Structure 1
Amino acid sequence: MAASAALTLAAPSAQALERPKGRVVLTVSGRIGIRNAEKTAEFDMDMLAALPQHTFSTKSPWYPEAHKFTGPLLRDVLAAVDAQGKNLRAVALNDYKVNLPVGDALKFNLVLARLMDDKPMPVRDKGPLFIIYPFDADEILRNERYYSRSAWQLKAIDVLE
């Protein structure tokens, strides 16, 4: 992926990011240009729902049947905070961490799923947020490399160099 890949995520305008009115479900930190807290960008579920929504159905290693996932594209969340890095560290509620390249968000329609089968996802079922790849859309995605990058129970994203 070209070094300039992160630059394509710049927000279309330098609008301020509103402060969350509800419970914060996602915190984005690191190399970001737009913040709504001291050093981070915080989102509540309504803020994520206000971004353009994307839906796909896919099979995955975690569910025996295909499920429908809905939420903003990860690249749209990164654009909303003017992400300037080339790599991301996704952090789950249990502090599990996984790194993934920003290039994945540019190349594939990764969804920051907030709904599964049109319903909010409880923590016990990989919620409230789940970075999910469209595994059925491209055969290249059906392997351990991409399965391991699908972070569930997501609470934070750190934008890295």
Structure 2
Amino acid sequence: MKRRQFLKAAAAATGSALSLPVFAESEPVILEVSGQVEATRTFTLSQLRALGVTSLETSTAWTDGAPEFEGVLGRNVLDTLGPLSSSHVTALALNDYRADIPLSDFYEYDVLFAWSMDGEMMTRRDKGPLWIVYPRDNVPQLREERYEHRWVWQLNRLILP
């Protein structure tokens, strides 16, 4: 078993908040993108922050009130991948949940890959390391049930078919 696979399996077995431990010289990878891109791309929290930090206050079907989320716009991440010919992306979570999301969602709406809620970093136990968050209070149609399955929490991977 490769070292990276072993570390991911060990982290999952111990309930670690992230898929890889933090090493002194590097940060853990919290998002992996594969498929249509030339090579699998990985992102650490610092790399995602460098793409621009956005805050969004919105209600969700899973929380009380309207928490404030902080993260990176999904379109900023997608734009780093170069031209894409796919019409959707498959979002995968640490808990094996998956959802197909139209790429147009990321360009029509300010959809976040959020890493914090109300100023607290989200852990694996609380929807982290990343949660796809839609601006449902700003766009009434995003409150429709058909969008709810696209709110992938424990997001750690995107696949472009």
Quote the residue 1:40 is aligned against: 40
Superposition map of 1:4-153 within 5 A? 21-33=26-38, 39-82=39-82, 84=84, 85-153=86-154
Separation in 2, partners of 1:53, 1:99: 24
Q: More deviation in 82-91 or 96-105?
A: 82-91
The question of 1:154 aligning with 2:155 is answered: yes
Shift, 1:66, TM fit: 0.8
Separation in 2, partners of 1:82, 1:117: 32
Secondary structure of the corresponding residue to residue 149 of structure 2: helix
Gaps of 5+ in 2: 1-24
Kindly tell me: are residues 144 and 83 of structure 1, through their superposed partners in 2, closer, same or farther at Cα, counting changes over 3 Å? farther
Shift, 1:154, TM fit: 0.3
RMSD in angstroms over aligned alpha carbons? 1.4
Secondary structure of the corresponding residue to residue 153 of structure 1: strand
Separation in 2, partners of 1:91, 1:97: 4
Quote the residue 2:19 is aligned against: none
Kindly tell me: are residues 83 and 110 of structure 1, through their superposed partners in 2, closer, same or farther at Cα, counting changes over 3 Å? farther
Quote the residue 2:14 is aligned against: none
Identity of matched residues, %? 37
Contact 1:67/1:116 (8 A) holds in 2: yes
Q: Based on CA coordinates, which of the two structures has the bigger radius of gyration?
A: 2
Query: How many residues are treated as equivalent by the alignment?
Result: 136
Provide Cα deviations, 1:14-66, integer angstroms capped at 9, x if missing partner. xxxxxx93111100011125xxxxx3000111111111111110011000211
Separation in 2, partners of 1:110, 1:129: 12
Kindly tell me: are residues 138 and 30 of structure 1, through their superposed partners in 2, closer, same or farther at Cα, counting changes over 3 Å? same
Provide Cα deviations, 1:74-95, integer angstroms capped at 9, x if missing partner. 0000011225122100000011
Specify the code of the residue in structure 2 equivalent to 1:27: E
Secondary structure of the corresponding residue to residue 128 of structure 2: coil
Specify the code of the residue in structure 1 equivalent to 2:103: V
Q: Which runs of 4+ in 1 moved over 2 A?
A: none
Q: More deviation in 94-103 or 80-89?
A: 80-89
